[in-house]
Amino acid sequence: MEKKVVFTGGNGRFAEAIKKIQNSYKIFYPNKKELNILSEKNIENYLRKIRPKILVHMAGLSRPMKQHEDNIHRSIDLNIVGTANIVKVCSRMNIKVIYLSSGYVYQGKKGDYKETDAILPWNNYGWSKLGGEASVQMYRNSLIIRANISQSPFLHNRAFSNVKINFLYHDEAAKIIFKLINKKGIINLGGESNSIYKFAKKTNPKVKKLSLKNNKYPKKLTMNLKKLNKLLKV
């Protein structure tokens, strides 16, 4: 019998990449009407109908980053309250929660952040993802994936040459998700450490080089991937 898995955020950019990956699970991608993360009752009704073993929570608010500064109410609702609602229902029904968080929960000052390092988000998006993590951490049957992922091709015309991060494109990250689905705890998910400019050049050859000259944006956003690489080798 196939194991049932529900992915929230099934209409999102990352979900489109995941749908292309062959796997052995029976997967459901509910839309916002079928599974409204702001309604505990709605979540429970949907999950009682499907009876999944695992829920991968990807729904929420991401880009543009500015919206998390301009509309904190929406950011709080979708990334913090919505995640808490998911965890509350799943904990009652003993459904495993896998939460797609972000490497932006780290401070970005030293780089090479391990899963056990202190966390201090540097923008509201990071705080909203950390807020989501808080409820997931309280539920033992869970996995938090701190992902540095980006859409392909690289969207912007310019990219910082002096900011380092280990981004993965969505199609690359999607291949890894199913290899982590039975894990628990916290796992950093990313790719090779590079400047954002070098990463962008892979899919956008016309991208222009940009240098960060202020302290509004951290320059060392890389995560340590030893735990991820060890798990993938097993």
| Token output for 187 | 């796992």
In this structure, what are the phi and psi dihedrals at residue 76, rounded to the nearest 5 degrees?
-65, -45
CA pair distance 44, 218, nearest whole angstrom: 40
**Distance between CA 205 and CA 38 in Å, rounded?**
41
Q: Is residue 14 part of a domain?
A: yes
Say if 206 falls within a structural domain.
no
Residue 29 falls inside a structural domain: yes
Range 126-134 average pLDDT: 97
Cis peptide before 121 (omega within 30 of 0): no
Across the chain, what does the average pLDDT equal? 94
User: What are residue 165's DSSP bridge partners?
Assistant: 194
In a domain, 139, yes or no: yes
pLDDT band at residue 229 under the 50/70/90 scheme: very high
Confidence band, pLDDT 50/70/90 cuts, at residue 1: low
Q: Are strands 54-57 and 96-102 parallel, antiparallel or unpaired?
A: parallel
The region of weakest confidence among 36-45, 138-147, 176-185, 200-209 is 200-209
**CATH label of the domain that carries residue 53:** 3.40.50.720
Beta strand segments in the chain, E: 4-7, 26-28, 54-57, 96-102, 142-147, 149-150, 158-160, 164-165, 168-169, 185-189, 194-195, 208-210
- Span 67-92, average pLDDT: 96
pLDDT band at residue 122 under the 50/70/90 scheme: very high
* Residue 142 banded pLDDT, cuts 50, 70, 90: very high
Task: Please check whether residue 195 is in contact with residue 217, taking contact to mean a CB–CB distance below 8 angstroms.
Answer: no
Answer yes or no: is 222 within a domain: no
Q: Three-class SS of residue 210? A: strand
pLDDT > 70? residue 186: yes
The range of the structural domain enclosing residue 114 comes to 4-155+166-191
Q: Is the pLDDT of residue 213 over 90?
A: no
The structural domain count of the chain equals 1
Q: What is the pLDDT of residue 65?
A: 79
Do 128 and 61 form a contact (C-beta atoms < 8 A)?
A: yes
Q: Apex CA 199: angle with CA 147 and CA 59, to 5°?
A: 30
